């Protein structure tokens, strides 16, 4: 009996959200297992890669961590265009960051990619005593908009691996039904090379 070949999938993932929500801390915790109490603001965007092996596929994440400062917002479409997954992050201690996260979700929805795996992430769960956004509020908004929802803490690593694991599972089950933002390692179709062109 022939053994089923494990798929190798390359997937572009973008993180969006206000400055100070902990996007870079989330990525560093996932990629390097590190956390720093003081993280320099991202300038423009930072790029990371990470492999995640599942039973059904090996996912290579190409992760774009975008800057949260207002002056960089106009650059965001350059990074999320053609992405397979988007993680929109807010800080549970900041109502403003939650409202801004909703705007990012609306912006992604206007792109009209029905296959985009979109996750709403309520970060800084370790600061529960300073919470300004209830878990139920974030969860409800995610359900209403067809998003996955996680409450995370980059500091304690709460739900960080689970977040990326669920995204990887979604991408693995979707391939090869669509190639938006993804490349398959075995028998890759023609014309997908340009999906990872991110130059200005």
> Considering the domain boundaries, does residue 194 fall inside one?
no
Number of domains in the chain: 1
pLDDT in tens, 64-115: 998 877 767 787 888 888 899 999 999 999 999 999 999 999 999 998 688 8
Q: Which helix (H) or strand (E) holds 161?
A: helix 160-174
Tell me, yes or no, whether 182 lies in a domain: no
Is residue 64 domain-resident?
yes
pLDDT of the residue at 47: 84
Residue 51's CATH number = 3.40.50.300
Summarised one tens digit per residue, pLDDT across range 111-131 is 868 889 999 999 999 999 999
Amino acid 146: pLDDT:
95
Q: Is residue 153 part of a domain?
A: yes
pTM for this entry: 0.84
CA distance 115 to 173: 12
Whether residue 84 lies inside any domain: the answer is yes
So what's the pLDDT on residue 42? 77
């Amino acid at each position: 009996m022939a053994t089923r070949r494990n798929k190798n999938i390359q997937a572009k993932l973008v993180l969006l959200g206000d400055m100070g929500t902990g996007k870079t801390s989330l990525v560093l915790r996932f990629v390097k297992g590190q956390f720093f109490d003081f993280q320099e603001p991202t300038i423009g965007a930072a790029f990371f890669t990470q492999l995640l092996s599942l039973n059904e596929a090996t996912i290579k994440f190409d992760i774009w961590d975008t800057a949260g400062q207002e002056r960089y917002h106009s650059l965001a479409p350059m990074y999320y265009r053609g992405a397979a997954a988007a993680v929109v992050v807010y800080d549970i201690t900041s109502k403003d960051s939650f409202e801004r996260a909703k705007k990012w979700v609306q912006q992604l929805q206007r792109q009209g990619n029905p296959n985009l795996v979109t996750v709403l992430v309520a970060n800084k769960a370790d600061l529960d005593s300073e919470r300004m956004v209830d878990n139920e509020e974030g969860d409800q908004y995610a359900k209403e908009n067809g998003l996955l929802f996680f409450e995370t803490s980059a500091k304690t690593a709460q739900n960080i691996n689970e977040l990326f694991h669920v995204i990887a599972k979604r991408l693995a089950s979707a391939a090869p039904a669509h190639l938006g933002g993804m490349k398959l390692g075995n028998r890759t179709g023609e014309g997908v090379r340009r999906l990872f062109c991110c130059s200005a």
